[in-house]
Structure 1
Amino acid sequence: MVSDFRCFRYVFSWCFLINACYFAVCSFAEDRFTRGQSIRDGDIIISGGEIFALGFFSPQDSGLRYVGIWHYRTTNESVVWVANRERPISGNGGVLTIGNNGNLVIMNGNGDEVWSSNLTVPSSNSTATLMDTGNLILHENENSNRVLWQSFDHPTDTYLPEMKVHFSDEETRVFTSWRSAIDPSPGNYSMGVDGRGRPQIVIWEGMNRRWTSGHWNGLIFTGIPGIRAMYLSGFRVLNDHNGSYFTYTQSDSSDLIKFRLSWEGVEQQERWIDERNQWVPIQSHPLDECERYNICGPFGKCNQTDEIKCRCLEGFVPTDTDEWSRGNRSGGCTRRTNLQCDTDAFVEVQNVKLPDFVGHVGPEDIEDCENMCLQNCSCIAYAFVSGINCMIWYQDLVDVQQLVDGGSSLFIRRARSELGGKNDVTRTVVVTSAVVGGFLVCVLIWLLLKRNKKCSGISNGNEMPRVSPSGEFSRDFSGPSDISVEGQQATGSELAMYNFNIVAAATGNFSSENKLGQGGFGHVYKGTLPGGQEIAVKRLSRKSGQGLEEFKNEIMLIAKLQHRNLVRLLGCCIEAEEKLLLYEYMPNKSLDSYLFDSDKKSQLDWIKRFSIIEGIARGLVYLHRDSRLRIIHRDLKASNVLLDEEMNPKISDFGMARIFGGNQNEANTNRVVGTFGYMAPEYAMEGLFSIKSDVYSFGVLLLEIIIGRRNNSFRSTEYPNIIGYAWDLWEGGKAIELVDQSILKSCPEEQVLRCVHVGMLCVQDIAARRPNMPAVVLMLESENATLPVPRRPTFVSMRHNLDDNAWTENQDGVSSNNVTLSVILGR
């Protein structure tokens, strides 16, 4: 029952003075009040589940009083709704009550009405209830479910789960920011939905667009970098009697989640973390320069990873060259060559945020979509997006952003004369080249097969036969390979072929005494060749998940790579069902054999560990940038880093690696391979991989080297993985506590903290936020390098849903969902 508890006011005043509380702390016993009852300044009501509270509050450093709703159990600023935001009350005499006409009203100390729910159909028995969703509902009476008014229909700056945001085929502004951090009155920024074409979230600054989310495809907003359907699976578009609306349902109802438009014009999704006693941002937009709306003008494209952010789309030039050179790119670009309509063609631009103001959205397939655009001389570009289908633009292409992670393909109309055309002569040359090339390859294969149908021996003392690692020396290597660079088969130095009997003798017939380790693709043995050279032999199991393609991959790649931090492949053997790889022998086996062994880890002091970190980083720089091929390893982990006699690291196991063409930045696969815990989120969930996938794996490995524990050793703790554990200590200013206790005394604190910082940058969810490996090396080795602030990885709070057996060491197996787990313990 509601009453005027003066003692509660005393308790409130005491709490405010002692703890600098943001809100009143006195409450009614119930979550509702009826006509004749009042909420006086100093009293609050609390929702049934004690999630939200309603009452009077003052912003920090302000004496003005407002009626608002906030999260009850949080101590930080968490007001989610304000009633009288334009008419605050001076003094503590305010009252919230239900008036004689059934309306919710707020009155100041003089009895003047400063705010009302303004019901058009009043009820003399109306009842107000604060729900656990944060919604204040005015019912017709205490026993009725009829809603007369609700705060969810009149939001201020915050969107809460279960709230409905209705939209139509025009712009709908729903949320308005505070004027400042201490002033809840309406500010200069608003947020809502533009329902034209396909709905998208928009932030406006005054009357101008500040940011757009990109078009909704039924699962995600396509223009948000790095967005994953898994992260935002709670968003849905539904329909009711008022039309279409967005709503968000939490996967875990116990979480406190909110989406807030800050007074600075930034939309932030935040989650309350009890352990930290604070709201933690999950994502924010706009976050960087390229997310600002149309920063490069019409027909311009912004790329945050480029030193020069704004460039014209291909085929376009700056509208005002002088202004463009001075850094003012708002004027955008214009066509270099005018369109001819009937002879035009399309050029594909990949991985972009699609332009704003789509002119047509229809069910056409991709061919019909192209034809529709081609037949209309006003059509400028088209796209075909899963979940949307055909999209066509008839006006200037604005707000185009190059995305490293995600995005769509945009087909831009260009004059065919500018593209050089595809005439009959060109087609004839292409066809002729293909036929001649194919004939020559067949002849080469025939000659090689005739010369040596099986692996040639070396026991007779003759010169060892050599063969190009292109994959054409044996029938076992015939057929297509997915390892190619811009359509050309990989070629490189020659590789020694060994006789199976020689390899068997060198390893004591693959005896258990010579076994170095095992993994998902077979066993690794130590051997000694007749000349005394020590080798490590990888013998693929007949049940191996690594097939002929992976075997070809490893041979072709490693044979070409020469770097002090990459393992050297000496040769191979293929005979019947046997497939063997011969490597240089690493006497200290693999990094994990020291790092995770309680008796041996102390041998890796900080100087050695930092040297190993640097070596691995330099090896990746060579793979990503400095080698003739651009290679993504895809399975970097401690067991795939070998140590030579001087404990220098050498990256090994290239069975999962892929070659990229010169201009290729990202690829997609339906067969995700590698090891869980080291996979970047975009790769594990959607099969997207790039050099930034290796950067993520390096970040996990870097943290393992510092902490001296396996990533998956945290599964039985409060943390889902090593990233969550490291982030909590780093963010709390306790990063030095991460260091392996066995080497703590030998660690220079500044260098360790820099390494942890680099690790946090490498494991960020969004690939575009991660540094590349040259930048990582610079940050590791330069004491004066300025390191950016990383964003908290949301993936750290998401546990994997695999069976525990998938994490068991020494297993040869393939998980469901086509995810290969490869664990090789030693060499």
Structure 2
Amino acid sequence: MTKNSSILGFLVLLLYASVSYTYAEDTLSANHTIRYNETIVSPQETFELGFFSPGNTKNHYVGIWYKKRSYKTVVWVANRDTPLTNTSGELTLTLQGVLIVRDTTTGNITWSSANSSTMTSLMNPNPIGQLLDTGNFIVYDGINQENPIWQSFDCLSNTLLPGMKYGINLVTGVERHYISWKSDDDPASGEFTYGINISGYPQVFLMDGPNIKFRGGPWNGLRYTGYPNLRPNPIYNYTFVLNERQVYFSYDLINTSVLMRVVLHPNGTTERLLWTDDKQEWNLYLAPTSDRCDSYAICGSFGRCNIDTSPFCECLKGFEPKSPDQWMSADSSQGCQRIIPLDCGPGEGFNKYSNLKLPDTRGSWYNQTMTLLECEKKCKSNCSCTAYTHLNISGAGSGCLLWFGDLIDIRTYSENGDTLYIRMPPSELDLVENRTGSSVGIRVRVMVPVAFVVLAILISLYLFYHFKRKKQHQQGTPTNMYEHDTENTNGDEDLELPLFGLLTLLKATNNFSMNNKLGEGGFGPVYKVL
């Protein structure tokens, strides 16, 4: 009886401890610590936070990973560039709401959330750290979770989770971009970063150190122009926000039971991955970059890349290679130049190009409310403007985007590309309508009115002649009033204007007497007839 009671008591205590762990271990209170082999778990046990060591490394990091998966997939790392070299580290939340990672053997702080410029002031000195089922670890004042004083979603690692935002706060200047790991076993900051550049109209860049590896392009109202396959789907939706306070991109799951992440790998490739329970593995859902034409500016200025042709670089119509010899040897990096230079004359217009990846928008100008006609006029009024298009292609289209100088990093898509209107000299304009509701090519604009005027004159002359002759017949005017003139021998009685012979003229002017001369003009002397 005593033995059974002891066993029963032990089971009750074990159950209580298990329940307490599940309930309480999603939070970290002030002045409490998480040590090696200790973790906290989100309420639905989706994510776990604690210390980990990736691969075969002996370094130790504080991170967040998916729980209950066949292997540990880390989505966020705190001290990625300052690892611990032993298991004596601890994560602590101070009374000021600051998270710190400390090496207890030396007392050195290797990472602190206070280094993040996203920290806000703490109104209530009773902070709580909590791991959410979104994967976000927040620190708040114990009252308002909606406005945390710090959150891991503001300090991206190599992974973009649903609900995360990458972009720039235009008020505070805080920039969010995700950075690759150095290797699969080393979460230190790698060579590749992915984020939004706001020089000109905002656009997405994948950077390899200081160099552009891939340009996702500007947002066109439906997608990034460099992502033709980004479209509505039943798994997730996405949002791009651009206003006076911030610019960012984020996505959210439609079915929250699905696990999805976007990861920037150490080799610079980005992949959208979807977890499959049956196979217990991550499967590729979408890979944005895939071919040679995704390499930044591979065809140079005014060149466009078409992966379906060989060679894949070609000059736009009205342009020719700057270096024909290099172009023939498959080196298109120097790009193209105009065959006929622009002179900012009134006859210049725009040719329409369809299904393109829009050029690099650094240094561009944009307006979110102008019409396409206003956009064309704005571009044509500036001699430095080389191209224009709609800023937003959704619906009937709206806004204006202008380019100045060379057009760089253009490629052709088979579908879902954008439309671009490029400034051209009169001799290079297409004789087709170049945009809805606009006038056609300059030569058509000139020829049509001229032809109309000539036709109108001919019709007027015919009507004048017809009605004059009809009136003369009605009044009985003879057409052969001089038929008895012996000098008029041609017998043409149908002429409207009578013909006079020389004898008749001599008689009428008294042999062209000076007394009958009235004067002299450009066609000779004028005489009075008797």
Question: Which residue type is aligned with residue 74 of structure 1?
Answer: R
Separation in 2, partners of 1:376, 1:34: 61
Percent sequence identity over aligned pairs: 35
Could you tell me which residue of structure 1 aligns to residue 413 of structure 2? 403
Deviation digits for residues 397-431 of structure 1 (CA, Å, limit 9, x no counterpart): 11111011211111111111244873689769999
Contact kept? 2:242, 2:248, Cα under 8 Å: yes
Judging by fraction of residues, say which structure has more helix: 1
Q: 384, 387, 395: which is aligned to 1:378?
A: 384
Return the offset for 1:57. 1.1
Q: CA offsets per residue over residues 664-699 of structure 1, 9 Å max, x none?
A: xxxxxxxxxxxxxxxxxxxxxxxxxxxxxxxxxxxx
Secondary structure at the aligned position of 1:132 is classed as coil
Deviations 1:35-92 (A, max 9, x none): 2432111122110011111011111121211110111122345211100101111122
The answer to whether the Cα contact below 8 Å between 1:226 and 1:405 also exists between their aligned partners in 2 is: no
Counterpart of 1:351 in structure 2 is: 355
Distance 2:384 2:127 in 1: 57
Amino acid at match of 2:110: V
- Kindly provide the CA deviation profile for residues 767-797 of structure 1, in whole angstroms up to 9, marking residues without a partner as x: xxxxxxxxxxxxxxxxxxxxxxxxxxxxxxx
The answer on whether the counterparts of 2:219 and 2:240 sit within 8 Å (CA) in structure 1 is no
Deviations 1:526-570 (A, max 9, x none): xxxxxxxxxxxxxxxxxxxxxxxxxxxxxxxxxxxxxxxxxxxxx
Q: Does residue 37 of structure 2 align to residue 33 of structure 1?
A: no
The 1:229/1:138 distance shift into structure 2, 3 A limit, reads same
**What pairs up with 1:383-462 in 2 under 5 angstroms?**
383-384=389-390, 385-387=392-394, 388-419=398-429, 422=443
> Residues 166 and 176 of structure 2 are in contact (CA less than 8 Å); yes or no, is this contact kept in structure 1?
no
Which residue identity does 2:304 align to in structure 1?
K
Deviation of 1:145 after TM superposition, in Å, equals 6.2
Structure 2 partner of 1:264:
267
CA distance in 1, matches of 2:388, 2:244: 34
What code does the residue aligned with 1:223 have?
A: G
Q: What are the equivalent positions in structure 2 for 1:352-751 lying under 5 Å apart?
A: 352-357=356-361, 359-362=364-367, 363-384=369-390, 385-387=392-394, 388-419=398-429, 422=443
Write the distance in 2 (CA, Å) between the matches of 1:425 and 1:252. Answer: 59
The residue aligned with 1:61 is: 56
- After superposition, give the CA deviation of every residue in 1:575-602 in whole Å (9 maximum; x if it has no partner): xxxxxxxxxxxxxxxxxxxxxxxxxxxx
Normalised to the residue count of structure 2, the TM-score between the two structures is: 0.70
Equivalent residue for 2:45, pick from 40, 46, 50: 50
1:336 aligns with 2:339: yes
Question: Unpaired runs of 5+ in structure 2?
Answer: 1-20, 431-441, 453-530
In the alignment, the residues of structure 2 paired with residue 240 and residue 352 of structure 1 have an alpha-carbon distance, to the nearest angstrom, of 26
Partners of 1:338 and 1:146 lie apart in 2 by 56
The 1:127/1:321 distance shift into structure 2, 3 A limit, reads same
Taking a change above 3 Å as real, the CA distance of residues 214 and 76 of structure 1, as seen in their structure-2 partners, is: farther
1:324 counterpart = 2:327: yes
What is the CA distance between 1:193 and its match in structure 2?
1.3
**Counterpart amino acid of residue 351 in structure 2:** V
Seen in structure 2, the aligned counterparts of structure 1 residues 241 and 360 have a Cα distance that, compared at 3 Å, is closer
Q: Deviations over 1:616-667 (max 9, x none)?
A: xxxxxxxxxxxxxxxxxxxxxxxxxxxxxxxxxxxxxxxxxxxxxxxxxxxx
Contact 2:270-2:288 within 8 A present in 1 as well? yes
- Tell me which amino acid in the other structure corresponds to 1:302: C
Quick one: distance in 1 between partners of 2:134 and 2:361? 35
Contact 1:225 1:404 in 2 (8 A): no
Q: Higher mean Cα deviation, 116-125 or 132-141?
A: 116-125
Amino acid at match of 1:379: C
SS in structure 2 opposite 1:147? coil
Shift in alpha-carbon separation, 1:240–1:27, aligned structure 2, 3 A = farther
- Structure 1 pair 418–201 and aligned structure 2 pair: CA distance change class (3 A): closer
Find the aligned partners of 1:147 and 1:171 in 2 and give their Cα distance.
Answer: 16
Structure number with larger C-alpha Rg: 2
Does the C-alpha gap of structure 1 residues 71 and 430 become closer, same or farther in structure 2, counting only changes over 3 Å?
farther
Equivalent-residue separation in structure 1 for 2:404 and 2:327 (angstroms): 25
Please state whether the residue corresponding to 2:375 is helix, strand or coil: helix
Q: How does 1:153-192 map to 2 (within 5 A)?
A: 153-167=154-168, 172=175, 174-192=177-195
Structure 1 residues 241-293: Cα deviation after superposition (integer angstroms, max 9, x where no partner) = 95343332211111111122221112221111111111112212322111122
**3-state SS of the aligned residue for 2:224?**
coil
Shift in Å, 1:164: 3.0
Deviation by residue 1:485-529 (Cα, 9 ceiling, x = unmatched): xxxxxxxxxxxxxxxxxxxxxxxxxxxxxxxxxxxxxxxxxxxxx
- What is the total number of aligned residue pairs between the two structures? 406
Q: In the alignment, residue 285 of structure 2 is paired with which amino acid?
A: I
Which amino acid in 2 is paired with 1:253?
Answer: T
Kindly indicate whether structure 1 or structure 2 has the higher relative contact order, using CA contacts under 8 Å at least 6 residues apart: 2
What SS class does the counterpart of residue 227 from structure 2 fall into? coil
Q: Provide closer, same or farther for how the CA distance between residues 62 and 28 of structure 1 changes in structure 2, counting only shifts above 3 A.
A: farther
Task: Tell me, in whole angstroms, the C-alpha distance in 2 between the residues paired with 1:27 and 1:60.
Answer: 28
Query: 314, 318, 321: which one pairs with 1:315?
Result: 318
- Mapped partners of 2:428, 2:174: distance in 1: 38
Cα pair distance change 1:375/1:241, threshold 3 Å:
closer
1:389 alignment partner AA: G
Q: Partner of 2:148 in structure 1?
A: 147
Q: 1:144 to 1:377 in 2, by over 3 A?
A: closer
The residue correspondences of 1:752-791 to structure 2 (distance < 5 A) are none
2:130 — aligned with what?
Answer: 129
Q: Secondary structure of 1:376's match? A: coil
Q: Aligned partner of 1:148: which letter?
A: I
Range with bigger deviation, 118-127 or 220-229: 118-127
Counterpart check, 1:199 vs 2:202: yes
Q: What is the distance in 2 between the residues matched to 1:171 and 1:33?
A: 26
Aligned to 1:249: 252
Is the 8 Å Cα contact of residues 27 and 43 (structure 1) preserved in structure 2? Answer: no
Partner of 1:277: 280
CA distances 1:14-45 after superposition (whole Å, capped 9, x unpaired): xxxxxxxxxxxx98952012124321111221
Contact conserved, 1:348 with 1:410, CA < 8 A, in 2? Answer: yes
Distance 2:22 2:325 in 1: 65
Q: CA contact under 8 A between 2:97 and 2:140: conserved in structure 1?
A: no
Deviation per CA, 1:433-482: give whole Å up to 9, x if none: xxxxxxxxxxxxxxxxxxxxxxxxxxxxxxxxxxxxxxxxxxxxxxxxxx
Does the residue aligned with 1:422 lie in a helix, a strand or coil? helix
Aligned with 2:113 (options 111, 117, 125): 117
Change (3 A) 1:300 1:335: same
Query: What is the deviation of 1:335?
Result: 1.0
* Pair 173,44 (structure 1): closer, same or farther in 2 beyond 3 Å: closer
Residues 419 and 248 of structure 1, relative CA distance in 2, 3 Å threshold: closer
- 2:445 and 2:260 mapped to 1: Cα distance? 60
Q: Secondary structure at the match of 1:268?
A: strand
Change (3 A) 1:96 1:329: same
- The TM-score normalised by the length of structure 1 is 0.46
Normalized per residue, which structure has more strand?
A: 2
The answer as to whether partners of 2:141 and 2:148 remain within 8 angstroms in 1 is yes
Residue 329 of structure 1 deviates from its aligned partner by 1.7
- Cα 1:143/1:403, change in 2 over 3 Å: closer
